[in-house]
Structures are given as structure tokens and as C-alpha cells.
Amino acid sequence: MTSPSPRRPRRGSLQSTVVRWVLKPALWIGCLAPAAWLARGVATLDLGADPVKTLTHTTGLTALILLLLTLTVTPARRLSGVDALIALRRPLGLFAFFYATVHLLIYAVFDHRFDPAEIAADIVEHPWVLVGFAAFLILLTLALTSPPPVVRRLGGRTWNRLHRLIYPAAGLAVLHFFWLVKKDTREPVLYGAILLLILASRFFIRPTRRPRTAAPD
Amino acid sequence: MIIRRPPDLPTAEITDEALYHDRRRWLAATAAAVAGLAVPRSAAALGQGQDDKPTPYDVVTTYNNYYEFGTDKSDPAQNAGGLKVKPWTVSVEGDVKKPGRYDLDDLLKGLPTVERVYRMRCVEAWSMVIPWNGVLLRDLLKKLEPGTNAKFVEFTTLADARQMPGLRYDVLAWPYVEGLRIDEAAHPLTMLATGIYGKPILNQNGAPIRLVVPWKYGFKGGKSIVKIRFMETMPKTAWNLAAPNEYGFYANVNPNVSHPRWSQKTERRLGEFFRRPTLMFNGYADQVGSLYSNLDLRTNY
């Protein structure tokens, strides 16, 4: 996705301790909160008039937000100079993938009774569905190439190039949202603007030049 | 033929709300979905081909599209409370023998009241079943006596920025305007509703008077009507103006003509988990099909 972490933060440094014992647990709690909220809603039958819509929309929106958060890790690291932040990137990305998967499953089961032919027809006929599905396929690829052994096998450079696909994935996700709303496009446009801002930041916030190492993260 | 209660919605099938809230069905559906993923297509029954139970009152009154009060489904119930609906004046204009500015009570005076349980299919592919109270539009037409050149009826709805926060955003060209061909307006299914579930209609549902055309997508049902105009030319309606390629003047419920962005083949009845097939003319084909025998429904969507 971005240039790999140039050097591993020294174990026991204050920064990496904070990331490991404060930020990472906070990330896990924050990322699991929407799922917990939905689970509670399912258990107490409290998901509004159209529960399936609530489930679909919440999981989709959470996936999009996490995708955007994943993309802010590198600019945040460069701005702050705290290299240890890179440790947040993979869990954020994988949680985005998790919510996207649940989102897709809810759609497949409740909207199409898991009928492959019907789902295929829906994907082909409706660009809105197609772009969502394309975004999912990208996230799937990125998730499958996330475990450290796979990263090592691919090599840092290839991995980096491949994981730049997260930008098109986020763009497709925003478009998916945009095409879904009937008329009031303020919300998807807001997320689109945030994505553009993150993308633009890559050109303004340059990485500081440091010796490269082979393996990322 | 006037049907007091359409035969497909017998009172006997009205299930009480407790059953709707039955958690077993919820759990069964969820379990089936989670465990199975192999829900047999024939057992698709969970949503399909079932009866038309009236949607619970609290759902009908909290899940609304009424953009003048905000575009979220929950906005109207939250923001419409302060709308002043009494006194209410409806202006009758155009090619009609008895034009004028009518107090709502005078406008409806002498018209027989009716109760109708209708399916309501939103263009967004969800649906409800609503027991309406009100009058038949045809009875009002008889009273107002449209002229011979009145080929269409236009309904203009309230646009009062002081009472309606949604007007701050020009999501649509306010005021919201809807319209019908005169024969559609005179059809015995078309009604002007002033109540739901036997109670006075709430603001978020279009108080004090709104249009109900059960074989058309829900957006045809203009809410809080302030003007009725009889005209020779087709009215310029709000959604048609906003996106002509997506929303036509007719807007008849039609599973065979997709919205450009999504399918209209199926719908989710609120309260159910799986989708059910959408019926031609929302299931009222026998009653209204003949209105469109000479119309290409593909181009006149």
C-alpha cells in the first residue's frame, strides 16, 4: 500500500509501547463496537423498521470508514514521525475486509437467498452492485496477501504495488454508496471528499528519505 | 366497482402486533440464514406469497419518506410534530366548475368516508400494508366538477420553510408536486387519506390530507396537499423533474421495468427478512390494468 516501514521500532521504545498497549487495544474495541451493537440489535429485536437494511447499511458504512482510516495511517505516521503507528494499518484493513464480507453475506442471503445465478444477474445488470462487488474482490485479494509469510514471499516491492489497490477499492466503495442513494448525495459526497483529501495528502506529505529494507511492516 | 375492503385483504387475516413482534420468527429466520445459507428456494416462503398483514402502526408512523422534514426515514417522525394542520386551506384551481379556496372541512363535507387496506410499494423496493381512512378522490371530483379540458389533476403540497427544516436543502424543486391523469384520479381505488388505523393521520404521514394511489410507487402520494389544479397538459412532477430518466410521470408499480440503478422485481415487506416478488400494478392489475391498455409501459414508466 505504501512504502514499507523503513525500520522496525526498537522493542521497548516508548512509542511502540504506547501503540501496542494503548492504541491497538483501542483499535480492537472501536472496530468490534459496530458488530457488538448489531449483535445486540439482533438479540433484542431492535434494529428499526427494516432490520435487514440496518444490517446492510451499518456493515457497509463501517467497512468504508475503516477503509478510509486504514489509508490515514501512513499520512499520520509521516506527519507525526511515529513509525510504530504502522502496526495499526493491517488490523484496520482486515477489519474493513471483515465488515465488507458480512455486508456481502447479508446481501447474498437476505436479498437473494444465496442463489448464485440471481446474484450474478444482479451484479451484471446493476453497476451499483458491480462496483461494490469489485471493491470486495480487491479487499479479498489484499486480505489474502496480508499474513506476514505471504508478504515475505511476495517481497516488499510487489506487495506495495499490489496493496495500492486499496485506493481504487475505496473509490469504488464511495461510488457504490453514491449510486445507492436516491437523491440526497451529501453523505457519500462527504466520504468521497475525505478520500480525495487522503489521496492528495500523499503528494504533500512526502516520506522522509531513509534506507530501504526488503520486507514491509 | 367499489370495494370496501379489497378481497385480498380480509379482516380475518389481520394479525395482531404481538405476533409481528414474535421473536421466534426473527430467530428462526436468522438461524436459517446463518446456519443454512442453503435456504431451499421453495422454502423461500419466509417472505413470499404470504398474506398482506397490515404493517404495525409504529412502523407506519416512524419509517417515512417526507423530504420536507429530512431525507432520513426517521426524520419526518422527529421533525414534523410542530406542523400546524388546522385550519387548513386547499386551493382548487384550473378547469373546474367550482374553484376556490376551501377550508379542508368544507372541501370534504358531504363526501362518504371509506376505509381501505392497501399495499404501499416504495420505488426504493420496500413495502408496507396500510389501513387508510379518507374519501375517494372520485367523489371529490364529482363535487368540484372538472371541465371537459381537464385531462390531468395536479397536486401541490405544502412548502413552508418555517415549519419544514428539509426545505433548506434543494434535494427536490420545492414545492413537491404530483399529478394524475384524470381517469386515474377518478378510479375507485384512488383516495385522499385523512386517517390511518382509524386515527387522524399524523403529520409525518402527510396530515391533514394526502393522496393514496395504491398501484403506483409511493412517491406519487403527495402529502399535506394545499392545491388541486385541473389542467389540460401533463403536470411537471417533482421526482420526474429531479431525475427524468429514473422517475416517470406514471410511476406504476412494475416488476418488469427496472429502475436504472436497481431492480424492481422484488421488494422487502417491512418486518420480513427475505424479499417477495413485486406484483404488476402492485397486485391491482385486475382493477387498473385497463387504464393502460394503449400505453407502452416501458417508455411510460
Q: Per-residue pLDDT tens for B176-204?
A: 999 999 999 999 999 999 999 999 999 99
Helix (H) or strand (E) holding B277: strand B276-277
Distances (CA, A) of B130 to B38, B49, B53: 33, 18, 9
Is residue A8 scored above 70 in pLDDT? no
- Structural domains in chain B plus CATH codes: 14-38 (no CATH), 47-290 (3.90.420.10)
Q: B57: buried, middle or exposed (CB in 10 Å: 19+, 13-18, 0-12)?
A: middle
E strands within B122-250? 126-136, 152-157, 177-181, 191-196, 199-200, 210-212, 225-231
Chosen for mutation from B20, B74, B171 (greatest number of chain A CBs closer than 10 Å) is: B171
When pLDDT is averaged across residues A5-21 and rounded to a whole number, the result is 74
pLDDT of residue A207: 72
ipTM over 0.85: no
Query: Taking the CA of residue B20 as centre, how many other CA atoms within 13 Å lie in the half-sphere pointing to its CB?
Result: 19
> From CA B108, how far away is CA B248, in angstroms rounded?
30
> From CA B41, how far away is CA B35, in angstroms rounded?
15
> From CA A166, how far away is CA A172, in angstroms rounded?
10
For residue B54, give the nearest of B15, B112, B110 by alpha carbon: B15
B67 vs A: CB within 8 A: yes
Is residue B30 scored above 80 in pLDDT? no
What are B199's three cell numbers? 386515527
pLDDT-based confidence at residue A13 (cuts at 50, 70, 90): confident
**B15-24, B89-98, B103-112: which range is least confident on average?**
B15-24
pLDDT of residue A11: 58
Is residue B11 scored above 70 in pLDDT? no
pLDDT-based confidence at residue A215 (cuts at 50, 70, 90): low
B273 vs A: CB within 8 A: yes
Is residue B283 scored above 60 in pLDDT? yes
For residue B170, give the nearest of A188, A192, A186 by alpha carbon: A186
Query: Tens digit of pLDDT for each residue in A63-115?
Result: 999 999 999 999 999 999 999 999 999 999 999 999 999 999 999 999 999 99
Is residue B118 scored above 60 in pLDDT? yes
B125 vs A: CB within 8 A: no
- The phi-psi region of residue A166 (left if phi > 0; otherwise alpha if psi is between -120 and 50; otherwise beta) is alpha
Cβ pair B79, B64 in contact under 8 A: no
Maximum C-alpha span of chain A:
56
**A12-21, A61-70, B37-46, B282-291: which range is least confident on average?**
B37-46
pLDDT of residue A43: 94
For residue A216, give the nearest of A170, A171, A149 by alpha carbon: A149
Cβ–Cβ of A49/B62 closer than 8 Å? yes
Cβ–Cβ of A53/B172 closer than 8 Å? no
Closest by Cβ to B59, choosing from A49, A110, A179: A49
pLDDT-based confidence at residue B22 (cuts at 50, 70, 90): low
B26 vs A: CB within 8 A: yes
Is residue B1 scored above 90 in pLDDT? no
Query: Taking the CA of residue B172 as centre, how many other CA atoms within 13 Å lie in the half-sphere pointing to its CB?
Result: 27
pLDDT of residue A213: 54
> From CA B10, how far away is CA B5, in angstroms rounded?
7
Instruction: Give me chain B's average pLDDT, please.
Output: 88
**Could you tell me the sign of the dihedral formed by the alpha carbons of A162, A163, A164, A170, in that order?**
positive
A111 vs B: CB within 8 A: yes
Cβ pair B164, B85 in contact under 8 A: no
What SS3 string covers A111-165? HHCCCHHHHHHHHHHCHHHHHHHHHHHHHHHHHHCCCHHHHHHHCHHHHHHHHCC
Cβ pair B9, B130 in contact under 8 A: no
A-contacting residues of B 199-258, CB under 8 Å?
242-243, 258
* Residue B76 one-letter amino acid: P
A117 vs B: CB within 8 A: no
For residue A169, give the nearest of A148, A146, A199, A190 by alpha carbon: A199
Is residue B48 scored above 90 in pLDDT? no
The domain limits of chain A are 14-204
Instruction: Give me chain A's average pLDDT, please.
Output: 91
Is residue B23 scored above 70 in pLDDT? no
Cβ–Cβ of B62/A125 closer than 8 Å? no
Cβ pair B60, B196 in contact under 8 A: yes
What are A7's three cell numbers? 525500520
End-to-end CA gap in chain B: 26
Closest chain A CA to residue B60: A49
A50 vs B: CB within 8 A: yes
B59 vs A: CB within 8 A: yes
pLDDT of residue A202: 86
Which residues of chain A lie closer than 8 angstroms to B263, CB-CB? Answer: 122, 125-126
Query: Tens digit of pLDDT for each residue in A163-210?
Result: 999 999 999 999 999 999 988 999 999 999 999 999 999 888 877 655
For residue A59, give the nearest of A140, A192, A173 by alpha carbon: A173
- Phi, psi of B276, deg, nearest 5: -120, 155
A-B CB pairs within 8 A amount to 65
Asked if the peptide bond before residue B260 counts as cis, ω within 30 degrees of 0, the response is no
Cβ pair B54, B14 in contact under 8 A: yes
pLDDT of residue A12: 66
